[in-house]
Amino acid sequence: MKTSKVMTAREAVSKYIGDGMTVAVGGFFHSISYALTHEIIRQKKQHLTICQPSFNDHADQMIGAGCVDRIVSSYVWMEVFGPLYCFRRAMEKGIPRKIEMEDYTNFAVMARYLAGSLGIPYIPLHSMKGSDMMNYRAWNGDKKAVLMKDPFGSGHDHVLVPALNPDVGYFHCQRADEEGNSQMWGIWGDMPWSMRACKEVIVSCEEIVTREQIGRDPNRTIVPGYKVVAVVHEPFGAHPKHCQGFYDVDRDFIFKYIRESATEDGWKKYMDEWVYGVADRTEYAQKFVNAFGMKKFLDLKAKDMMSTSVNYGF
């Protein structure tokens, strides 16, 4: 039995996320670790560069809280739900501070992670070519992307983007063991490439299971334990997003955030209530039940739609 990496969100964030770090957030809409995001905000981390192909309200909250200087992404918005006001205030008016975004495409960020995870310095792309993303650059300047003639003779120029290797990454999944072997199903989002490109990984999960249980279905493992430095047990840790097989997306709560964050005062009130005003995820879940009732909480719970099992025998 290897050493257990299980710890609280408070311990994990304080130990492994430092000011000024480049931090990858895992997931795509589905299974985003709000548990760890909120802890980063409570610990007032500063000057972070945050990376994710597509960001939602979790980025908006970190931006509003002044944790973020730079964003590596293709998208900061709340999809069909609407705009994200802290992001817009920061980009349009420098509130609470001016931030920079290095604009890529969704796939270009994936390609940067892929290169990072493979230990290669850069990767060619069809995307971005001819767009204004090649003409406008933030802090990376010339190193954001390069247009290069294909040395193998296709006759076309290709966009090269550099590998992305964040200092630390964090993500949420259904289950992990104490060593950090993590299993995820449903929409992987930027997984596994984002986390494999990170130097260190923090995982939050709905359930902690045994190493033996992981080994019974190893094809489902998305990050091997040796990459992981901390395992945080956080049921309901992705709310208001969904976690396949555990709970569905909470549309009402997302609309509530967008509505209330439209003004700075409204945003502050929301954050005082749902982030600063709770000590951890357990208090958050309890507060949710108190505010909206057990029925609403149970309504979010996923139905059972079990897969058939497979034979790993030899």
Site string for another protein, 255-294 (x = CB under 8 A): ----------------------------------------
CA distance 175 to 178: 10
Closer by beta carbon to another protein, 134 or else 278:
134
Q: How far is the CB of 303 from another protein (least distance, A)?
A: 9
- 145 touches another protein (CB under 8 A): no
Identify the helix (H) or strand (E) that includes residue 146: strand 146-149
Among 60, 190, 234, 260, binds another protein (CB under 8 A): 190
Among 133, 164, 271, 275, binds another protein (CB under 8 A): 133
Cis, bond preceding 192 (omega within 30 deg of 0): yes
- 166 touches another protein (CB under 8 A): no
Closer by beta carbon to another protein, 39 or else 192:
192
Closer by beta carbon to another protein, 81 or else 276:
81
Among 16, 17, 23, 28, binds another protein (CB under 8 A): 28
- 304 touches another protein (CB under 8 A): no
- 242 touches another protein (CB under 8 A): yes
Site string for another protein, 61-80 (x = CB under 8 A): ------------xxxxx-xx
For residue 128, give the amino acid letter. M
Closer by beta carbon to another protein, 1 or else 305:
305
Site string for another protein, 193-222 (x = CB under 8 A): x-----------------------------
Q: How far is the CB of 30 from another protein (least distance, A)?
A: 5
Q: How far is the CB of 100 from another protein (least distance, A)?
A: 10
The region of 85-93, 161-169, 225-233, 257-265 touching another protein under the rule CB under 8 A is 85-93
Closer by beta carbon to another protein, 217 or else 280:
217
Helix, strand and coil content of the chain, in percent to the nearest 5, comes to 35, 25, 40
Identify the helix (H) or strand (E) that includes residue 64: helix 57-64
The region of 57-65, 100-108, 201-209, 263-271 touching another protein under the rule CB under 8 A is 100-108
3-state secondary structure at position 304: coil
Closer by beta carbon to another protein, 103 or else 178:
103
Q: How far is the CB of 15 from another protein (least distance, A)?
A: 28
3-state secondary structure at position 31: coil
The distance of Cα 218 from the centroid of its chain, to the nearest Å, equals: 23
By the criterion CB under 8 A, which residues form the site for another protein? 28-30, 53-54, 73-77, 79-81, 83, 87-88, 91-92, 101, 103-108, 110, 114, 125-133, 136, 154-157, 185-193, 242, 244, 248-249, 251, 302, 305
